[in-house]
Structure 1
Amino acid sequence: MAIVIADRYTLDPVHIGKGGMGEVWGATDRRLRRRVAVKFIRFPDDEPDPDLVRRFVRESQLTARMDHPGVPVIHDAAQVGDGPFQGRLYLVMQLIDGISVDDLVAEHDPLPIGWAAAIAAQTCAVLAYAHGRKLIHRDLKPSNLMLARDGGVKVLDFGLAVALDASERSRITRTNQTVGTLAYMAPEQFRGEVEARSDLYALGCVLYRMLTGELPFDGPTEASVMHGQLYEKPAPIRDLRPDVPAGLEAVALRLLAKQPQDRPASAAEAYRLLEPYVTALPELPGAIDQGPTPWHMYAQVVGRIPAVPPDVPRDDAPPASRTGADGAGGHDGIGAGAREEISAGDLVRARRQAERLARESRYGEAAGMLTRVAEEAGTHLGDGHSDVIGVRIDLANILLTGGNYARAAAAFHRLAEDLARRDGPDTDLVFEFRRQEATCHAALGESDLALDRLRGLLTDQMRVRGRDDDRVTALREQIGLLLHGIGRNDEAVKVLGELAADLERRHGPAAPAVRELHATIRRITRD
């Protein structure tokens, strides 16, 4: 007997897809007599709490308002009242006739270069639309990208990752494919921070996989994948596939920058970087219909319409210079003496200008400009104002990226102090700035000071997060590896040995993370 949801949607006999967040069924909408897809959301023990249900419905409503050809249309969202799926949340959406990028890569391994660029560029177009509406995907990966038979890309699951907070999302993905999700997470997401450019990092992981057939960071355990995302550089793409253009490799590696400000400033910019490589699109038998379709006819005409009228400035145009009372204009748009007060718009323009300078490796100019802006804004708005904090974070990161470790350490130290006074000493950002300060001291060769900072941070993190938190585990491992790096091997073995014992207690002696730590300890003892 067929299963009917909400007395309306008749499910097909077998589901058509299954993943970490749930399963998808083809269905027939009996009221409107059309084919749809029904996605059931998976929860631990299948018992979502009422607050989660309300948030899910709210975010689904926001997603349903998205009007872009690259986003499947959402028709309905609710909770099943009875039957075999009783209590489960579900989405009813447009049924896509196509193949997931995950399956496409598995079939071709790797993709033709033009198609990899085309899929990434179309994804950027969707992200540019979503980010403009303050929606961040948070879980972009090949299984969430569908290539329709007309060659268009559909981005799935917008709103699901937004509706679920970090702890709930971790519990859900852990049910099935934690490592698969970690493999596409931006470094800042491990610290509980998400911004639009986190999606661009995930897209960089997807592009890397499409071009090489491999993940940029892989390993047998969650810890090894996380370590790669946080600290390691991916293997050069052209070492794995020499026919990839050097320029496209540079775009992919820029998307994979550890610091968000080192990635393209926006999805629109990433699109412009990728578009030149959307060439030589060969046939993909079984995946793409051959010949022009009505959709292609429509899109080709739309593509000829000027995107920006000649008299309308682009959003990413450099800020115009201002002229002060003395007639002198500031080249950074915030000239000294130009105005008595600084606005939020001034800060946004200054940060964009600094991003452009940093992308050109003009770190000194970028840092100098942000220093002036931060001082002026701090005078008018206060050092703890959110907009001023944003400028100061940009400044500290640019100092770090540019190799000015002494100033970067001081900047991170002041940020941690000011945010501790404003928000409390135990917030994620305060912990992260303390870690960044320690990293700067280590880069300066100030090993004892770096270790002192890291150990103090470890004490506080263990107090707040507990001994078994993954971030605490990573910090303990970092301390052990730093001790080894400066030749204090006995101490390193002690720290890593205690960590291995804790992990063995939690996961057993055969756990891959335990074996990896013991292998590291053996290497250290041989040094």
Structure 2
Amino acid sequence: MAQARRIGEQGRYELIEEIESGGMGTVWRGYDAVLDREIAVKLIRPDVVASPAQAKEFTRRFEREARVTARIGHHGVPQVFDAVLDEASYDRLYLVMEYVRGVSLRRVLTGAEDGAAVGLPVSWAASIAAQICTVLSYAHAIPVVHRDLKPDNVLIAADGTVKVLDFGIAKLLRTDVTRLTATGNRIGTSRYMPPEQIDGAQITPLSDLYALGCVLYELLAGEPVFSGDNDYQLMHQHMNVPPTPLRAPRPEVPEDLEALTLDLLAKAPEQRPADAYAVYERLSPHLPQPGSAADCVTLTDSGSPAAVPDPTVVYRQPNAPLRRTTTPAPSPEPTVPGPVPARVDTALRDAIRDAYARSADLAERGRFVQAADVLKAAIATAATALGQHNPRVLGLRGQRAAVLMAGEDFRRALPEFDALAAVYARTEGPSSDSALECRRHAAHCRANLGQATAALREFQEVLEVVSDTDGDASETALDLRRSIGVLLFSEGRRTEAEGVLDALHEDMCVLLGEDHEETREIADLLARLHRPEGSGPY
């Protein structure tokens, strides 16, 4: 396995894979070894630094993004965790940022099954635009103008939160900010650029509102407001051509929403809405109400539909709890894979062995998130080659679930244990050791997630099977009985807990001895149970 690149003091930040590359730099997915979390790292591309002046420009751009993002302080902007801005050493010029899992708005617009010609549902368009307005209102209060608002710089996170990205060319108003281009080229993207930005006139928060109008138009119409063949044509249209009213390509767009979009696209800044808050207020009637049903949008990717994170959920279910973990449906029976060539099989076997070793090393150092992700990557590779239910693939999945549980990420471990239990029950039988072990771990996860009733039921069902086959005194049975007694104790069901733990203590005295550590632990629990309630710990 290739050695991952590390940067930062003592190699704190590990770069795993490049996820984006632009003219100025690259963005990597990585890990913070100290805090055991995924991060995004923005790096300067050394090959684009042609002069000291350019190095200074890129340093300022990174510095601006870090400082502006920190000052905005809103969840709609990815947080900057660290910034290293040493222009004298280009390989040590980087930003460490929040890694956001989600879908680019550009991809939604180009890949939505129902969005290529008719745009997104009105509730989606309004929700996305309203969330952008909220971010802009925070930025404009500094005051900062983004200057490059476009679908490529908007992300819908997995929870439906809209994130506005790349404040690297933002302009801090009422300050002496040097232009970021030595050649004098316009900054921004011509398809979304307001007339005053094209004309080199004063940039204000109203300039961002024009770009927002371009985005909102595209969300609703399914096509850009202007579609010139080149930058010159696009800029000419923004300067001189009135936009086609939205209800021409899409008659079902509400009249007031069409009027808002055209107001945002006014050529003169003073003819646009007063500020982002005014835009938000005009969008409000089109936002979904709490408790309303969701619209669904899917993407097509190589013929496979995939759901898009729903940006309306923040309005339909404001401040909602984390979604409940549900038991996944049983996977379809796998097709029997063909024979794997010896060379490929050896390479795969080595990759699996390396994944186990690397994951174990990371887990030993308390980096459970990264340890689980190492196994996840190996699972994807092995499942493609061997099939989802191959024993080696199932072994990797079980190890990943165990790592998640060890890292106390019970929410992610639970559905994996449930899925594995279903597979083993189908392939090896519901009483197999593998199925019962997965169910036992799933019960532990449920107990730690506060699902005490379901956890007790599962512990007891597994215990019945284990007792029938191995008796009440087997190692597994003793562990299950202990789990049941402790859970009853923690739930305040003292009488039931005492009955379970008394019988368990008697068996442990015989099997392990009175002085064994585990026997003394149960004795201590019983002593606490025998004390009157409210009598204190002693």
* Counterpart position of 1:27: 30
Equivalent of 2:6 in 4, 11, 23: 4
Quote how far apart the aligned CAs of 1:20 are: 5.1
Where in structure 2 are the equivalents of 1:31-46 lying within 5 Å? 31-41=34-44, 45-46=48-49
Find the aligned partners of 1:191 and 1:172 in 2 and give their Cα distance.
11
Equivalent of 2:77 in 71, 76, 96: 71
* Counterpart position of 1:444: none
Identity %: 42
* Counterpart position of 1:381: none
Quote how far apart the aligned CAs of 1:33 are: 1.6
Quote how far apart the aligned CAs of 1:221 are: 1.6
Q: Secondary structure at the match of 1:220?
A: coil
Q: Does the alignment pair 1:299 with 2:316?
A: no
Where in structure 2 are the equivalents of 1:93-492 lying within 5 Å? 93-108=97-112, 109=115, 110-162=119-171, 166=179, 168=181, 181-192=189-200, 193-279=202-288, 281-285=294-298, 286-288=306-308, 299=319
Find the aligned partners of 2:6 and 2:171 in 1 and give their Cα distance.
28
Q: What is the one-letter code of the residue matched to 1:118?
A: S
Q: Secondary structure at the match of 2:229?
A: coil
Find the aligned partners of 1:294 and 1:207 in 2 and give their Cα distance.
18
The Cα offsets for residues 464-489 of structure 1, whole Å up to 9 and x where unpaired, read as xxxxxxxxxxxxxxxxxxxxxxxxxx
Quote how far apart the aligned CAs of 1:3 are: 1.6
Quote how far apart the aligned CAs of 1:172 are: 8.7
CA RMSD, 1 decimal: 3.3
Quote how far apart the aligned CAs of 1:45 are: 2.9
Maintained 8 Å contact 1:125/1:268: yes
Maintained 8 Å contact 1:102/1:142: yes
* Counterpart position of 1:91: 95
CA separation of 1:270 and 1:41: change in aligned 2, threshold 3 A: farther
Q: Secondary structure at the match of 2:295?
A: coil
Find the aligned partners of 2:314 and 2:224 in 1 and give their Cα distance.
36
* Counterpart position of 2:475: none
Find the aligned partners of 1:88 and 1:212 in 2 and give their Cα distance.
44
CA separation of 1:283 and 1:293: change in aligned 2, threshold 3 A: closer
Quote how far apart the aligned CAs of 1:80 are: 7.2
Maintained 8 Å contact 1:208/1:237: yes
Find the aligned partners of 1:5 and 1:24 in 2 and give their Cα distance.
14
Q: What is the one-letter code of the residue matched to 2:78?
A: P
Q: Secondary structure at the match of 1:28?
A: strand
CA separation of 1:63 and 1:211: change in aligned 2, threshold 3 A: same
Q: Secondary structure at the match of 2:72?
A: coil
The Cα offsets for residues 128-177 of structure 1, whole Å up to 9 and x where unpaired, read as 11111111111101011110111110111124333885561978999xxx
Quote how far apart the aligned CAs of 1:282 are: 0.4
CA separation of 1:128 and 1:293: change in aligned 2, threshold 3 A: closer
Find the aligned partners of 1:260 and 1:136 in 2 and give their Cα distance.
14
Q: Secondary structure at the match of 2:253?
A: coil
Equivalent of 1:52 in 45, 48, 57: 57
Maintained 8 Å contact 1:20/1:173: no
CA separation of 1:10 and 1:160: change in aligned 2, threshold 3 A: farther
Maintained 8 Å contact 2:44/2:90: no
Quote how far apart the aligned CAs of 1:9 are: 1.7
CA separation of 1:121 and 1:31: change in aligned 2, threshold 3 A: same
CA separation of 1:53 and 1:21: change in aligned 2, threshold 3 A: closer
Quote how far apart the aligned CAs of 1:215 are: 1.2
CA separation of 1:237 and 1:136: change in aligned 2, threshold 3 A: same
Maintained 8 Å contact 1:79/1:87: no
Find the aligned partners of 1:250 and 1:213 in 2 and give their Cα distance.
17
Maintained 8 Å contact 2:72/2:139: yes
* Counterpart position of 1:365: none
Q: Secondary structure at the match of 1:237?
A: coil
Quote how far apart the aligned CAs of 1:22 are: 3.7
Q: What is the one-letter code of the residue matched to 1:76?
A: D
CA separation of 1:290 and 1:197: change in aligned 2, threshold 3 A: closer
Quote how far apart the aligned CAs of 1:56 are: 3.1
Q: Secondary structure at the match of 2:248?
A: helix
Find the aligned partners of 1:80 and 1:51 in 2 and give their Cα distance.
10
CA separation of 1:126 and 1:249: change in aligned 2, threshold 3 A: same
CA separation of 1:96 and 1:167: change in aligned 2, threshold 3 A: closer
Maintained 8 Å contact 1:43/1:172: no
Maintained 8 Å contact 1:3/1:10: yes
Maintained 8 Å contact 1:44/1:172: no
Maintained 8 Å contact 2:193/2:210: yes
Q: Does the alignment pair 1:16 with 2:19?
A: yes
* Counterpart position of 2:396: none
CA radius of gyration, larger in = 2
CA separation of 1:45 and 1:69: change in aligned 2, threshold 3 A: closer
The Cα offsets for residues 18-56 of structure 1, whole Å up to 9 and x where unpaired, read as 345543211111222210111235698324635425533
Q: What is the one-letter code of the residue matched to 1:39?
A: K
Find the aligned partners of 1:37 and 1:239 in 2 and give their Cα distance.
42
The Cα offsets for residues 54-111 of structure 1, whole Å up to 9 and x where unpaired, read as 53354222322322111111112224799xx944743211111100100111111222
Dislocated runs of 4+, deviation >6 Å: 169-174, 290-298
Maintained 8 Å contact 1:101/1:142: yes
Find the aligned partners of 1:299 and 1:20 in 2 and give their Cα distance.
38
CA separation of 1:81 and 1:256: change in aligned 2, threshold 3 A: closer
Q: What is the one-letter code of the residue matched to 2:153?
A: N
Q: Secondary structure at the match of 1:24?
A: strand
Quote how far apart the aligned CAs of 1:114 are: 1.1
Q: Secondary structure at the match of 1:25?
A: strand
Q: Secondary structure at the match of 1:16?
A: strand
The more displaced of 95-104 and 73-82 is 73-82
CA separation of 1:20 and 1:104: change in aligned 2, threshold 3 A: farther
Find the aligned partners of 1:58 and 1:51 in 2 and give their Cα distance.
10
Unaligned runs of 5+ in 2: 299-305, 322-538
Maintained 8 Å contact 1:186/1:201: yes
